[in-house]
Amino acid sequence: MGHKVITEAIIENGKLKYVGKKLPDGRITVHIIYDAGEETLSEAEVSRIVKETSGIYKDINVELESTKLRDNWERNVYQ
């Protein structure tokens, strides 16, 4: 099963309100990724997360890994 990023949608109160373009006919499975702009963390929580996670990926090649992730996520988008 390939992934296609084809449009954006607006869901309000659990109901689909807007879809940016026509979706394929039939049943489709979707993954919902949303922006939680109103969500905030306290300074103590941010400090705890930074302390817990800092250095765990210190030997990673960021450019290579981000390219791999982007290619994997966007596969088949332009077909």
The whole-angstrom separation of Cα 46 and Cα 60 is 22
CA atoms within 13 Å, Cβ hemisphere of 41: 9
| pLDDT at residue 65 in the model | 86
Amino acid 69 reads L
Span 34-50, pLDDT tens digits? 776 677 788 898 888 88
Task: Give the pLDDT confidence score for residue 36 in this predicted structure.
Answer: 66
- pTM (global) more than 0.85: no
